[in-house]
Structure 1
Amino acid sequence: MNTTTNRRVALVTGAAGELGRAICARLCRDGLHIVAADINLEAAQQLADSLECQPEQRIIAIYADMADKGSIDAMVEQTGAEFGRIDVVVNNAAVNHRGSILDFDPAQWDHMMAVNLRGPALLCQKVAPYWQAQGSGRVINMVSRCWVAGGPPAYVACKAGLVGLTRSMARELAPYQVTVNAIAPGLLPSAFTLDGRDAESFERMAAGSINSTPLRRLTTPEDIANTTAFLASSDAAFITAEVIHVCGGSQLAPFGSG
């Protein structure tokens, strides 16, 4: 069904996690059509069902495996068929297989690179014809403050690579009035950051993070969602190729300090 619309359309990957849900909710409040894409389709559908729409506003859930080009292509094709346009892409999906440079698993490294770095590139490549035709677009890539300070090597390499991709795409897509920016959150309590950690170890990490953050608290999903909404808006039309650190100043401290 092609329901071409003048209302802008936002495609958010990793929509079913805490951060993705907050981003979708904020963009929904701003009046955009929402495509909630996630590898967990059931959770994405629950999110779509829970958001309150304005009249003539739509929210749909789509399955997406960011490690699979075919899945990415299908996600974009379904979005285009539903709405006839794609205005905002939020590359939020991510995986993290922890390991040091001494013991990382090459297969896990490759999977992280596929989801966290290649996936956003393939998604933007597939959406680019829409931006070329529309003469406008927004890309918001989720990175991490660890791209500055260092940390788990595979994850940091992905996020630092995504910063480089952000700047390269900003240059290449500028003739079509597409802005490309990145957001670098600080430590954010979520299932993603808790995965593989017990409560006690996370509490120690959180305490250290708060101690090394000038504004003395952790990042919240709403902090990131609000910044995403700004970068997706007309107010940010002349901002591109930037990394916005939303971490209370913790980018000033070395990784794991405190």
Structure 2
Amino acid sequence: MTNETDRRVALVTGGAGALGATIGARLAADGSDVVLVDVDAEGVERAAARLRAGTGRRVEGWVADVSDVDSVRRTISRLRDEFGRLDQLVNNAAVNRRADLASVGQQDWELVMRVNLWGPAVLCQAAVELWQAAGTGRVVNISSRTWLSGGPLAYTSSKAGLVGLTRALALELAPLGVTVNAVAPSMVVTPFTRQGRSEDEFAEFLARHQRMTPIQRLATPEDVANAVAFFASEQAAFITGEVLHVCGGAQLAPAP
């Protein structure tokens, strides 16, 4: 049985989605209690219920909007009241807009930046007091291979910014015993990556990505979750400010 001093608490944003739920499941399997948060109230509760049944850990599904400061602060306050700590923060929530320079608008640009970049920053800001009290913590930001290869304008800019944020936070939070790292996957087949494409369009999109990947397959949510679990573990206690590409070698190739 895990005692109180060994107990870990993880917060995973975007927890209603395939990637967030898989990350939550891996952290729960490794012994953490998990709070999944998402703007999708029904989806996040369904995901939490599946994890509770499958892992036996305490798993909660909470509604929160990471782009809204008040929502984030309420979430961290509730976490403090109900769990008393935050050992592992996984900033996974994201939105994408498939717009190029000619078509991107201010509203879409600002939404992508608020969710993908501001959300992780304000979550870390709100969690500082918990980390100060604990003297330790792990932050894992989910970036994307697009920060190297290019891609949709706002999304790529936000994911490159998240790498910069990771490095800046790694320096700022190190005195608190907190490590901050990023995982940058290539194409993972989820509803998020389909982005409104037709069956034929999506099949060709995936085929292009597989052709350019030296290890001839696409990434799975489990591949990403394994990398997150490493950074969130004690085995990575002396690693901070790094970016781990979960790409099967595709980080070495140009965009398809």
Does the pair score TM above 0.5?
Answer: yes
Q: Deviations over 1:131-169 (max 9, x none)?
A: 111110000000000100111110000000000000000
* Distance in 1 of aligned mates of 2:47 and 2:111: 26
Q: Deviations over 1:75-106 (max 9, x none)?
A: 11111111001111000000001100111011
Q: Deviations over 1:23-69 (max 9, x none)?
A: 011111111010011111211111111123766x4111111111111
Show the counterpart of 1:87: 87
Show the counterpart of 2:106: 106
Hey, which bits of structure 1, 4+ residues long, moved more than 2 A?
52-55
Show the counterpart of 2:67: 67
Instruction: Verify the 8 A CA contact 2:25 2:55 in the aligned structure 1.
Output: no
Change (3 A) 1:140 1:12: same
Instruction: Verify the 8 A CA contact 1:5 1:85 in the aligned structure 2.
Output: no
Counterpart AA for 1:10: A
* Distance in 1 of aligned mates of 2:141 and 2:101: 25
* Distance in 2 of aligned mates of 1:100 and 1:41: 31
* Distance in 2 of aligned mates of 1:94 and 1:5: 33
* Distance in 1 of aligned mates of 2:55 and 2:81: 21
Identity percentage over the alignment? 50
Instruction: Verify the 8 A CA contact 2:97 2:152 in the aligned structure 1.
Output: no
Show the counterpart of 2:242: 242
Show the counterpart of 1:32: 32
C-alpha displacement of 1:221: 0.2
Q: Kindly indicate whether residue 121 of structure 2 is the aligned counterpart of residue 121 of structure 1.
A: yes
Superposition pairs of residues 215-234 of structure 1, within 5 angstroms: 215-234=215-234
Counterpart AA for 2:166: T
1:72 alignment partner, SS class: helix
2:96 alignment partner, SS class: coil
Aligned residues: 252
C-alpha displacement of 1:202: 1.2
Instruction: Verify the 8 A CA contact 1:135 1:178 in the aligned structure 2.
Output: yes
Structure 1 residue runs of 5 or longer lacking an equivalent are none
Instruction: Verify the 8 A CA contact 1:53 1:59 in the aligned structure 2.
Output: no
* Distance in 2 of aligned mates of 1:81 and 1:170: 26
C-alpha displacement of 1:14: 0.2
Counterpart AA for 1:50: R
* Distance in 1 of aligned mates of 2:109 and 2:68: 15
Instruction: Verify the 8 A CA contact 1:11 1:88 in the aligned structure 2.
Output: yes
* Distance in 2 of aligned mates of 1:53 and 1:202: 31
Show the counterpart of 2:251: 251
Structure 2 residue runs of 5 or longer lacking an equivalent are none
Show the counterpart of 2:191: 191
Show the counterpart of 2:49: 49
Show the counterpart of 1:177: 177
1:140 alignment partner, SS class: strand
* Distance in 2 of aligned mates of 1:105 and 1:21: 31
